[in-house]
Amino acid sequence: MPQVDEAQLLFQEARERRRRRWRVSGIIAATVVVLIAVSLSLVLSMGRGGTPKPAVPPTGGAVAARPAVSLSFRPVLCFASPLTLGVGQAPSAGPLPSCSPTSALTAENLAVNTSTGTYNANPPADGQFSTYASTPQGDAGTAGTVLLPAAPSQGEGGTRFVLGPAVLTQQAITAARAVQADGQWAVNLTLSPTGASQWDKLTEQQFHAFIGVVLNGEVISAPIIEPTQTSFTPFAGHLQISGAFTGNQAKALAASL
C-alpha cells in the first residue's frame, strides 16, 4: 500500500474498507512456483472501477452478434502434472481420480499467512494425472471434475489444474464494462442477485484457497481468496477482472459477456 500522510489517513482507511482485492497466487509445478501473468481482482461496487452499467444496444438496426465465449469460476482441487505418455501409450480413460491428500489445495494444506498474503506450504502437483489428457473444451461443461491447462500466455510450463464443478458462469453476469484501473485495463462485472449469492457461496467455500477462472477451456487466473483477511467477508455482487489486458482485449472480453 502506498504511504499516506496523516491528512489522508482517514480517507485511505475508508476506501480500503470498501475495497477488497484478490492477490494473485502462483501455479505450482512440482516444487517450483511460477507466477500467473494474468491476475484477477475483485472489488466492491464502490471500488475504483465504479458500478458497471449495462450496455445499451444501438437503436434502429440489428444488434451485432457477440463472439461465443465460455467463462466460469471453479474451485481448484489440486495442480496436476503435464501429460506424459510412453511410446505407444494411450491416455488413461474413464473418470478422473480424486486428488491425493498431500496434493489437495485446501486452506489447511496451503496454510496462508495473513500478514504477508502468501501461503506457507506448496502442495506438489499430483502425479497420478500424468497419463490423463486435458478435458476437451466441448466436454468441460459446468458439472463434474475437469482437468484443464493454463492459458499459453502464462508460460506455466505444462502444469494443469484439476477443478471442481463450475459454481458461476457468464449467465450470472448482467453487465460488463471495460475500464482502466491502476494504469491497467480491466473488465468490471455486475452479477444478478442469484449470481451474487452463488459467488459469495463459492468464495466463502474457497476462503484461503484457490478459485480457477476458466475462459474457453483454459485457466486464465487462479487467485487465492482474501489472503490477508482472518475471516471471510462477502462481496456485493460486483467483481473486476484485471491483468495483462490491452484496451482492445478488455473491450472485446466485455463485449462478449
Identify which of 15-29, 47-61, 105-119, 153-167 has the greatest average pLDDT: 105-119
Domains, the chain, with CATH or none: 20-53+66-256 (3.30.1360.200)
**Residue 32 cell numbers, joined:** 517450483
Burial class of residue 213 (count of CB atoms within 10 Å of its CB; 0-12, 13-18, 19+): buried
pLDDT tens string 65-79: 555 688 999 999 999
Question: What's the confidence (pLDDT) of residue 141?
Answer: 77
Question: What's the confidence (pLDDT) of residue 61?
Answer: 45
For the entire predicted model, the pTM comes to 0.72
Question: What's the confidence (pLDDT) of residue 33?
Answer: 30
Residue 41, pLDDT > 50, answer no
Question: What's the confidence (pLDDT) of residue 243?
Answer: 60
pLDDT tens string 202-237: 999 999 999 998 988 988 888 899 999 999 998 889
| pLDDT (mean) for 164-193 | 90
Long-range contacts for 81-88 (Cβ within 8 Å, ≥24 apart)?
Answer: 81/125, 81/126, 81/127, 81/129, 81/130, 81/158, 81/159, 81/160, 82/130, 82/157, 82/158, 82/159, 82/160, 83/130, 83/131, 83/132, 83/133, 83/134, 83/158, 83/160, 84/130, 84/131, 85/131
